[in-house]
């Protein structure tokens, strides 16, 4: 049996002890971001269940995207990656909310007159100086990215600006940090868009209706058997 080669092992290492000087992407608090979610639930859910950049309780992470289509693609993930059409029911009850990451500034931000969010920018070339590789945005399992998220949070970042796993190109996403659970203090979209109305979303293949099928009855009578 062949052994495990270097190509089979991730090269992405955990974060260094010192992240001072790590590249920052500043995001205006009123910049639009998008999240695909079930209509019956709030878009503002900060997860601590082991997702890519999830923080551990009592902290959590809410994932939003730079466009509505990217938000949908990240929600569907492997389902969309494996086919050009979607199975019936894949989008049932799913909407896309247009949001902003605005929240009350901290005392330190008020003192500095700073309201923009400070995101750890793992997409810039300068991040390589701290050991970041492209694998951080797509690798599995998530134990190493989770450690990076914890380090960024401890360093005072408001979240991570990264490349979404299922959306190639210039698309971007934000893993925003906050208290774990649902945040009812943040503004929600009063008119979220049904996901089927988002431009670029693949068509849903509905199962055929019985009345549209041609049913061929089995032949009647005895069927002779060859001896």
Q: What is the pLDDT along the chain (227 residues), one digit of tens a residue?
A: 556 556 667 889 999 999 999 999 999 999 999 999 999 999 999 999 999 999 999 999 999 999 999 999 999 887 766 566 777 677 889 999 999 998 766 555 565 556 789 999 999 999 999 999 999 999 999 999 999 999 999 999 999 999 999 888 888 999 999 999 999 999 999 999 999 899 988 776 555 555 555 556 666 666 555 55
What's the pLDDT score for residue 105?
A: 61
Maximum Cα–Cα distance for the chain, whole Å? 97
| Model pLDDT, residue 103 | 76
- Tell me the β-bridge partners of 175: 63, 160
Rounded Cα–Cα distance for residues 175 and 61 (Å): 6
Can you give the pLDDT at residue 62?
98
The whole-number pLDDT of residue 83 equals 62
The predicted model scores a pTM of 0.82
């Amino acid at each position: 049996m062949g052994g495990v080669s270097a190509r089979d092992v991730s090269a992405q290492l955990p974060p260094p002890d010192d992240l001072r000087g790590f590249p920052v992407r500043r995001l205006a608090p009123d910049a639009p971001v998008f999240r695909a979610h079930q209509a019956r639930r709030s878009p503002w859910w900060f997860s601590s269940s082991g997702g890519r950049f999830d923080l551990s309780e009592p902290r959590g992470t809410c994932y939003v995207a730079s466009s509505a289509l990217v938000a949908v693609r990240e929600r569907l993930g492997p389902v969309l990656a494996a086919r050009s059409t979607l199975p019936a029911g894949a989008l049932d009850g799913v909407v896309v909310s247009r949001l902003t990451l605005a929240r009350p500034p901290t005392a330190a931000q008020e003192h500095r007159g700073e309201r923009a969010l400070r995101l750890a920018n793992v997409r810039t070339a300068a991040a390589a100086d701290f050991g970041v590789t492209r694998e951080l945005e797509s690798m599995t399992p998530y134990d190493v990215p989770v450690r990076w998220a914890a380090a960024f949070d401890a360093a005072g970042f408001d979240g991570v600006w990264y490349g979404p796993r299922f959306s190639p190109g210039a698309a971007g996403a934000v893993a925003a940090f906050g208290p774990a659970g649902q945040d009812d203090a943040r503004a929600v979209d009063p008119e979220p868009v049904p996901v089927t109305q988002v431009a670029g979303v693949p068509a849903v293949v509905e199962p055929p209706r019985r009345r549209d099928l041609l049913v061929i009855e089995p032949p009647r009578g005895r069927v002779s058997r060859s001896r």
